Chain A
Amino acid sequence: MKRRLLFIGTGAMLATLLLAAPALAQEGMTADAVQATLDNIWVLIAAVLVIFMQAGFALVEAGLTRAKSVANIMMKNLMDFAAGVLAFAFTGFAIAFGSGNGFMGTEGWFLNTNHFSDGYFGTLSLPTFFIFQVAFAATAATIVSGAMAERTKFKSYFVYSFVITALIYPIVVHWVWGGGWLSTLSTPMTDFAGSTVVHSVGGWAALMGAIILGPRIGKYDKDGKPRAIPGHSIPFAIIGVFILFIGWFGFNPGSELAADSAVSAIALTTLIAGAAGAVSATITVWLKTGFPDVAMAGNGVLAGLVGITAGTAAVSPWGAFIIGALAGILVVFSVFFIDGVGVDDPVGAISVHGVCGAFGTLMVGFLATDGGLFYGDGFALLGSQILGVVSVFVFVTITTGALFYALKATIGLRVPAEEEIEGLDVVEHGAPGYGIDTTALA
């Protein structure tokens, strides 16, 4: 109780200092006004944590790919965020959250304050809500970069970044979070923080990108057997995983969209699932290959986190453990499977985000303490979860498939073979990512 009072006190002080709105700073500030301020501050902090995840993605992807294309992958991570912010502000946000029909929003373009008037997002202001949501849009966009690493033309990736955040991702958001058809089912689909809405969208887009691009040169031998192409920095990859883990405490608890008592419970399920994913993936890969593979353990953390994201507010800590542990096992088999069918995903993005995102969303139908099959509440929720997962898969694979084919037919999707072998950095961006002085010598 004391701690809670302290928390509220500190929050109120921060509120006064940060916002310094004269009306709020006056004596006699109502409890509602304090709560609204706390809500806004917490969600803004959570938004910053989610934006920090971009750094995690950048490091994971750089670490798990080769040094000769490191500048390219950093550039893709930087630009899909920047392009995503602009595209989501211009059109994406209106499609996702504006009034419209069950399929998409049709009002509120360019963050129109007449449409998104005060109270539209409850206690949250338009800036707070937008910054939080745009961080999610950029997350969905950046997932694809790793799966298409080391062989994609930067120009094409740049165009893709705008299209997914301007149009494709926002439509799915509208379905689930913006009052669209999946949220108005008699039992609405539950995807609290976006296992499907964010991660599966990114994962399925990554799947289409990797298929249409084809594998990196040297990934498969003459008989089609997959060969490992080790990444150039495990330290990068694991620091990236830690940054993502930290960012997830904004991603999930922030999705409560309020500073209330549910936040810490959500943080707990997030933490447990991430840890369970790490342990179960490590044991799985250890038994399967004889080594506790470091990169796969990193994938396990992310698999657990992606898995719990849909049900983070709906399951018990035990439910979180089960989801995280199963996601960690699933990701190992999925990575081997996708490798085996000839789809080259250098960082495992399809498995982590697409497969484990879908899996976590389905598990809510079993493990939600209110509505889950295992809690005796029947099949209604599970049915909605299945419908959501399948319809998002179909929509995203068709739209991103069309997008990547269109890019392939126009500006081209893949760099020439010689450029791929030399590395993308010098040819696409003018200079290598490492060691200009050692190559220049004189």
Chain B
Amino acid sequence: MKLVTAVIKPHKVDEVKDALRAIGVKGITITEVKGFGRQGGHTETYRGAEYTVEFTPKVKLEVIVEEADTAAVTDVIQTTASTGQIGDGKIWVTPVEGLTRIRTGEQGKDAI
């Protein structure tokens, strides 16, 4: 099992969710996060004076998948979340050592 984590632009969340659902993903967890990457911060203007927002709002999306599905899920997130603009975010994959469904106690793949 793998944990696919993606940090994406907030306005892309709905589209990515729908695309993942369409390829059979059963569950996603999202968190509102802030950060910076190559995009850096950006400036906003308050009463005529500029200030820098160092950390831009993003959404972190986490989905646990079977190893065989990793590439498909990563691919769908990448193509759906991409706008071509700087600040589109990143996707990374980490191994998952164990997984339990709390309600039933199911273990491993069965709990996905």
Contact = CB atoms under 8 A, between A and B. Distances in A.
Interface of A: 218, 418, 421-422, 426, 430-432, 436, 439-442
A142 B4 CA distance: 48
Contacts of B52: 440, 442
Given A436-B51, A439-B34, A442-B54, A430 B11 contact: no
Contacts of A430: 44-46
A218 B55 contact: no
Given A218-B14, A422-B11, A436 B34 contact: no
A431 B34 contact: no
Interface string B10-53: 11001000000000000000000010000000001110000111
Contact of B44 (A218, A431, A441, A442): A431
Given A439-B53, A440-B52, A440-B54, A421 B45 contact: no
A1 B68 CA distance: 90
A426 B44 contact: yes
Contacts of B46: 430-431, 436
Interface in B55-74: 55, 57
B45 A431 contact: yes
Q: Name the 9 nearest CB pairs between A and B, nearest first.
A: A430-B45, A421-B11, A431-B46, A442-B54, A431-B44, A440-B53, A439-B53, A441-B55, A430-B44
Contact of B34 (A218, A421, A441): A441
Given A439-B53, A442-B52, 10 more contacts: A421-B11, A422-B10, A422-B11, A430-B46, A431-B44, A432-B44, A439-B34, A439-B55, A440-B51, A441-B34
Interface of B: 10-11, 14, 34, 44-46, 51-55, 57, 83
16 contacts: A218-B14, A418-B83, A421-B10, A422-B10, A430-B44, A430-B45, A430-B46, A431-B45, A431-B46, A432-B44, A436-B46, A436-B51, A439-B34, A439-B53, A439-B57, A441-B34
Would you call the interface of chain B mostly helix, strand, loop, or mixed?
Answer: strand
Question: Which of B11, B14, B45, B55 neighbours the largest number of chain A CB atoms within 10 Å of its CB?
Answer: B11
Contacts of B44: 426, 430-432, 436
Contacts of A440: 51-55
Contacts of B10: 421-422
Contacts, number: 33
Contacts of B51: 436, 440
B54 A441 contact: yes
B34 to A, nearest CB: 7
Contacts of A441: 34, 54-55
Question: Which of B10, B34, B53 neighbours the largest number of chain A CB atoms within 10 Å of its CB?
Answer: B53
Contacts of A431: 44-46
A436 B45 CA distance: 10
B35 to A, nearest CB: 10
B13 to A, nearest CB: 9
Nearest to B13: A421
A183 to B, nearest CB: 47
Contact of A418 (B11, B14, B34, B57): B11
Contacts of A432: 44
Contacts of B45: 430-431
Nearest to A429: B45
A392 B44 CA distance: 44
B10 to A, nearest CB: 7
A422 B85 CA distance: 15
A431 B45 CA distance: 6
B111 to A, nearest CB: 30
A421 to B, nearest CB: 3
Nearest to A421: B11
Contacts of A439: 34, 53, 55, 57
